[in-house]
Chain A
Amino acid sequence: DQQVKQNSPSLSVQEGRISILNCDYTNSMFDYFLWYKKYPAEGPTFLISISSIKDKNEDGRFTVFLNKSAKHLSLHIVPSQPGDSAVYFCAARGYQGAQKLVFGQGTRLTINP
């Protein structure tokens, strides 16, 4: 069963506009959520995270929102830049005290000039 889902395989956004990437999860025991960014032929790079006790975390152009009642989180990038073009993975941790990350399938973000 897919415990973390990213339902949009791809997203295209104009440079300078806001990019919104979405992620849904099914397990309420997850206590920590992360976003990773991946360029081709490179490993995933940590971007931003949020604890389940918070509903928002902001770092520069990146903001992550968590809606626990809806089991939904989103990543906002504003303003979007060409260098943001990459695959973004949502990940969750903490089910049954586990340290492993459970990843979504990823969303390919393309920023158009």
Chain B
Amino acid sequence: GAGVSQSPSNKVTEKGKDVELRCDPISGHTALYWYRQSLGQGLEFLIYFQGNSAPDKSGLPSDRFSAERTGGSVSTLTIQRTQQEDSAVYLCASSLDPKNIQYFGAGTRLSVL
């Protein structure tokens, strides 16, 4: 596709449920990043993939959060046993390589009730 694609665009879930968020990066981009933006805040780094490996997971807030990337392309961010404080916009970005500009998708707005 032309840009970074994320699905779903909106997700409403009940506290305690698991959710999966998907990111399709720009074709050929080897680096992929997940960020989240809570209300009124800047973007907060979660995890970075180079190919299928995640050399930097330092931003994952707890062990309820995990992510994987397969085939050097699609990535899934999974949040287990969601809590209300997980409510945020989750943004995915990709870049041709780690030194290049990161291009963002439109995000998934997660609401935990």
Contact = CB atoms under 8 A, between A and B. Distances in A.
Interface stretch (B14-22, B61-69, B71-79, B96-104): B96-104
Given A41-B106, A99-B31, A105 B42 contact: yes
A46 B48 contact: no
Contact of A101 (B40, B45, B107): B45
A27 B33 CA distance: 22
B102 A101 contact: yes
B91 A100 contact: no
B56 A101 contact: no
Contacts of A46: 101-103
A15 B45 CA distance: 34
A102 interface: yes
B68 to A, nearest CB: 18
Contacts of B42: 4, 6, 89, 103-106
A43 B104 contact: yes
B31 A44 contact: no
B102 A43 contact: no
Contacts of A89: 42-43
Nearest to A46: B101
B8 to A, nearest CB: 14
A101 B101 contact: no
Contacts of A109: none
B59 interface: yes
A10 B5 CA distance: 29
B41 interface: yes
Closest 10 CB pairs between A and B? A43-B104, A103-B42, A99-B98, A100-B45, A103-B43, A105-B42, A43-B106, A44-B104, A43-B105, A46-B101
